[in-house]
């Protein structure tokens, strides 16, 4: 848990100047920033406006997935569409029913945009802006303008009766009865299934709402861009580089993040076969941070007393595209040695071609800590290989499906 919180803190602090949080806090908009590279795709920043609108505290939101705001009336299809946009690393906008901490539903215009690293085109974060929507007033047959439920900007429900041009003799006796009927109708709708009245009929976002979302996104990216320039790790709103074939999709990163064992993914199609993914458990085992690992060959774990015959066996197995298991002496960042039960295996995509090699590490003497109770190290390693294989094949199927629709 502590390591997860550390990754969440580093997610913002390691890329931007230390003053970026203060600048983001000054923005009046309702938004969150999430990190797809951390297991569970958690929220790493939440604005004051978002916290006020939802009723949650900062501590209740940071580290949680965005589904914390969903409820029984949230459209499942809309959630799937959001997930698809995340997998395809593209901007997306939709009307969505969310829920406050106290259980009250409210409609929002959900507008999401990926944050790209300008250097290599990878997605570092997603920004999700939430603009609260209000129900449109409706006219009754007698000219009375009513709003069964008006959703205010903070998501609360309020009655709103505005009397129109009914004849005085009708209004004098009938309006009280009309008000009583409408009030009863409101209560029955609110209590039905505990959901928002007419929640199956989405509130439509106006052009003003859409402009608010775009303006908010412009302001957020202005801050992120400025403070990334101060650290030299520039971000941008659109992918600036797509030539890096070692780039992993957000969907694959999210799937790999669910695997709790120590492992790395390397790309054999790039020079020196660099690491393109490192699990949280691997970083904890070796003492390195992610940016110190990605792009490097696994040989950086070797040291003075590493057996060269083990390295030779690994190289020959990779050339033959065959799995292998070795016991090898590796070194952590602090130069302390540890014996590593290392299993390496090729990973093929949906077409059957080798896409990656996975290396699964288990520290000698810590098998029970790293693995599942009752499983031997070799079975733990094979289960990791199987989970990685499923994630890669699933991601390649999604990518292939997306390409088939490209015009």
Contacts of 202 (CB under 8 A, 6+ apart): 75, 95, 97, 107
pTM of the model: 0.56
Per-residue pLDDT of the chain (407 residues; tens, 9 = 90+): 555 667 787 888 888 888 899 999 999 999 999 998 888 899 999 999 999 999 999 999 999 999 999 999 999 999 999 988 887 788 999 999 999 999 999 999 999 999 998 877 788 899 999 999 986 544 444 444 444 444 444 444 433 333 333 334 344 444 344 444 444 444 444 433 444 445 546 688 999 999 999 999 999 999 999 999 888 889 988 876 544 445 688 888 888 999 999 999 999 988 888 999 999 999 999 999 888 888 888 989 998 899 989 999 999 999 999 999 999 999 999 999 999 999 999 999 888 889 999 999 999 887 555 445 567 888 999 999 999 999 998 876 655 544 433 32
Is residue 361 a contact partner of residue 342, using CB atoms and an 8 Å limit?
yes
Q: Which domains does the chain have, with CATH numbers?
A: 2-132+205-236 (3.30.450.20), 138-194 (no CATH), 250-404 (3.30.450.20)
- Nearest Cα neighbor of 321 from 350, 348, 361, 349 is 348
């Amino acid at each position: 848990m502590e390591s997860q919180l550390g990754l969440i803190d580093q997610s913002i602090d390691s890329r931007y100047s230390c003053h970026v949080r203060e600048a983001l806090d000054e923005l009046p908009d309702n938004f969150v920033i999430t990190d797809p590279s951390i297991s569970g795709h958690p929220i790493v920043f939440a604005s004051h406006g978002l916290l006020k609108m939802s009723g949650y505290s900062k501590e209740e939101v940071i580290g949680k997935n965005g589904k914390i705001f969903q409820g029984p009336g949230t459209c499942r299809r809309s959630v799937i569409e959001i997930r698809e946009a995340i997998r395809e690393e593209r901007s997306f906008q939709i009307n969505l029913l969310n829920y406050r901490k106290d259980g009250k539903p409210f409609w929002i215009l959900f507008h999401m945009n990926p944050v790209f690293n300008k250097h290599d085109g990878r997605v570092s974060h997603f920004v999700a802006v939430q603009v609260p929507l209000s129900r449109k007033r409706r006219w009754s047959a007698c000219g009375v303008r009513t709003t069964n439920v008006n959703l205010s900007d903070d998501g609360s429900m309020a009655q709103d009766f505005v009397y129109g041009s009914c004849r005085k003799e009708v209004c004098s006796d009938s309006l009280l009865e009309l008000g009583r009927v409408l009030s009863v109708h409101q209560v029955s709708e609110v209590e039905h299934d505990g959901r928002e009245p007419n929640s199956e009929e989405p509130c439509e976002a106006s052009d003003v709402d859409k402009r608010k979302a775009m303006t908010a996104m412009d302001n957020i990216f202005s801050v992120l861009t400025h403070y990334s320039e101060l650290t030299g790790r520039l971000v941008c709103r659109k992918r600036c580089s797509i030539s890096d074939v070692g780039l992993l999709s957000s969907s694959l990163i999210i799937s790999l993040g669910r695997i709790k064992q120590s492992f790395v993914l390397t790309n054999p199609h790039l020079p020196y076969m660099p690491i393109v993914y490192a699990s949280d458990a691997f970083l904890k085992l070796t003492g390195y941070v992610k940016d110190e690992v990605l792009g490097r060959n696994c040989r950086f774990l070797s040291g003075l007393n590493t057996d060269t015959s083990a390295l030779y066996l690994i190289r020959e197995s990779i050339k033959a595209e065959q799995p292998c298991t070795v016991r090898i002496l590796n070194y952590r960042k602090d130069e302390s040695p540890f014996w590593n039960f290392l299993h390496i295996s090729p990973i093929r995509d949906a077409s059957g071609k080798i896409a990656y090699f996975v290396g699964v590490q288990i520290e000698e003497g810590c098998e029970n800590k790293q693995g599942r109770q009752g499983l031997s190290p070799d079975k733990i390693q094979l289960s990791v290989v199987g989970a990685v294989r499923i994630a890669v094949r699933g991601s390649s199927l999604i990518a292939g499906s997306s390409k088939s629709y490209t015009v």
